[in-house]
Copies of this chain bind each other. A is one copy, B any other.
Amino acid sequence: MGERNRKITIKDIAAEAGVSIALVSFVMNGKSEGKNAYRVNKETAERIRSVAERLNYQPNEAARVLRSGKTNAVGVIVSDISNKFFADIARCIEDRAYKHKYTVLFGSTDENPQKLENLIDVFRNKGVDGLIVVPCEGAEQTLRKLANENFPLVLLDREVPGAELSSVVLNNRRAGYQVAEVLVRQGFRRIEMVSYSMNLSNIREREEGYRSCMTENGLGEYVRIHHLRHERLDRIVEVLRDARSRQVEAFVFATNTLAMQGVTAMFRMGWQVPRDCSMVCFDTNEAFDLYHTAAACVSQPIERFGAEALDLLLKSIEHRDQPMACTRVVLTPEIVEYAGAESLPEVVSAEV
């Protein structure tokens, strides 16, 4: 009771089991089995294991890390961990990493390359074995340098053009095409896109998808992409109002955030969605889902994003010596189409 709660070390186990610390280390690391192993006496090994169990031995991570240079930790750097899309991915990565005995450090950049650089520094000092990064604009240099050092790195959600980096991304072009196509099929012609001015690969490709969908459907003349600054989303009101004055009938929102901002603004201005104006967007969201606000949403395979990214990273950590293979995983979007608010079963039956 009054005993100081000293941490049990490998030494204590060795003493208690009457063997050397080396033996304990081997046994604890499973080096007593397998081919290239110091073959330890089966009984000795068992004795050591039981002592460790009894004393509730917990190896000291810091020592192990210092000695081996491996932390069994990876860093995940996203734009904003409180954003639903990233929070969901984070959760998947966390669970999966845990199964592989890895822990995860999270960080948010707020699309600020300086913050990204800081986070990378901090995480590397902490000794993470690798990084999963959602690159932001202006981070190209930093990331390329990292990769040149042969540091295990996997890009998520977006790519860095012209860099040979592993990445897990959506087929954004296709998603943009297909989601816009829903509007076209519904008979809309004046369809415009609301997007970010940030130069991000995923955004640019979504725009491309929209553009080719329009062009291929003979609506090239209506193509118009509004680029909003990330810090000035309030400008969306002007964009919408202007579009409205040009009889725009429907919008493609390049991200969930933009869509939410857009719809909120529309509500404030007295338009009802989708009655007065239709829209499609990327990612689902409880509001749009429940009220069928969107005519369609791009549903991203969250689980696979997390799984593929982590697996890729772990593989590249395993093969740190090799000159770093660059794998590109492109996931297929799913388009969730809603029937339209007027046909929401519940609303109809309630109003009749």
Q: Check B66–A121 contact: CB distance below 8 A.
A: no
Interface size on A, residues (CB 8 A): 61
Task: Decide if A338 is an interface residue (CB 8 Å cutoff).
Answer: no
Q: Which one of A219-227, A246-254, A312-320, A343-351 is at the interface?
A: A343-351
Q: Check A351–B272 contact: CB distance below 8 A.
A: yes
- Residues 320-352 of chain A, each 1 if its beta carbon lies under 8 Å from chain B, else 0: 000000000000000000000000111101110
Q: A94-B108, A260-B286, A272-B346 are in contact. List 20 more A-B contacts (CB 8 A).
A: A58-B124, A60-B125, A61-B125, A61-B126, A62-B66, A62-B71, A81-B87, A81-B91, A82-B91, A94-B106, A95-B108, A98-B122, A103-B105, A104-B106, A267-B344, A271-B346, A272-B347, A276-B350, A287-B287, A287-B291
Query: Within the oligomer, what is the number of copies of this chain?
Result: 2
Rounded to whole angstroms, the CA-CA distance of A195 and B3 in the bound complex is 44
Rounded to whole angstroms, the CA-CA distance of A286 and B260 in the bound complex is 8
Question: Using Cβ atoms and an 8 Å threshold, which residues of chain B touch A311?
Answer: none
Rounded to whole angstroms, the CA-CA distance of A121 and B289 in the bound complex is 39
Rounded to whole angstroms, the CA-CA distance of A66 and B68 in the bound complex is 13
Task: Find the B residue at minimum CB distance from A263.
Answer: B290
Task: Find the B residue at minimum CB distance from A84.
Answer: B84
Task: Decide if A12 is an interface residue (CB 8 Å cutoff).
Answer: no
Rounded to whole angstroms, the CA-CA distance of A73 and B62 in the bound complex is 12
Question: Using Cβ atoms and an 8 Å threshold, which residues of chain B touch A71?
Answer: 62
Question: Using Cβ atoms and an 8 Å threshold, which residues of chain B touch A291?
Answer: 287, 290-291
Rounded to whole angstroms, the CA-CA distance of A60 and B73 in the bound complex is 15
A 267-284 contacts with B by CB, 8 A: 267-272, 275-276
Task: Find the B residue at minimum CB distance from A289.
Answer: B287
Task: Decide if A45 is an interface residue (CB 8 Å cutoff).
Answer: no
A 58-86 contacts with B by CB, 8 A: 58-63, 65-66, 71, 73, 80-82, 84
Q: Check A88–B94 contact: CB distance below 8 A.
A: no
Task: Find the B residue at minimum CB distance from A118.
Answer: B98
